[in-house]
Amino acid sequence: MLPLDQVTGIGGFLDAVAVTFTIYGRAADIILKLVALGSWVAVFPGTLESLLGIEYDFAGTWGTSRGTYELLTIGTLVIIAIVAMIGYAMGAGVRRDQVTVPIEPGGDESS
């Protein structure tokens, strides 16, 4: 879970992600890099292979051109981001509400 009090914008979000990854100790850096690499390769397949000099038949692998694939993939990500922003905006009132719930010991026990 991200510490929401630290999410003040994209910079705050990235800082909160860094704080969250501290629970993984020394592995956090490699985990973050692997997640970033996997995300890049999922959105832009074949780019890593070309950097490493490995032959990659994009059309043969995906059955479509690179441009069509990337247009549809990035278009999908943009739609997801728009839906997320609309949901975030619609939830502003709920985030402003605060509720105090007293915690009583043994409240769930039945005899």
DSSP string, 19-30: HHHGGGGGGHHH
pLDDT per residue as tens digits for the range 69-102: 999 999 999 999 999 999 999 988 887 887 777 7
Q: What's the token pair of residue 100?
A: 């105090």
Q: What's the token pair of residue 33?
A: 């890099």
Cα(38)–Cα(33) distance, rounded to whole angstroms?
A: 8
Q: What is the pLDDT of residue 33?
A: 87
pTM value is 0.59
Q: What is the pLDDT of residue 64?
A: 92
Write the DSSP symbol of residue 6. G
Residue found under tokens 């993939």: 73
Nearest to 2 by CA among 100, 82, 28, 12: 12
Instruction: Provide the residue ranges of all domains of the chain, joining segments of one domain with +.
Output: 1-41, 44-95
**Length of the chain measured in residues:** 111
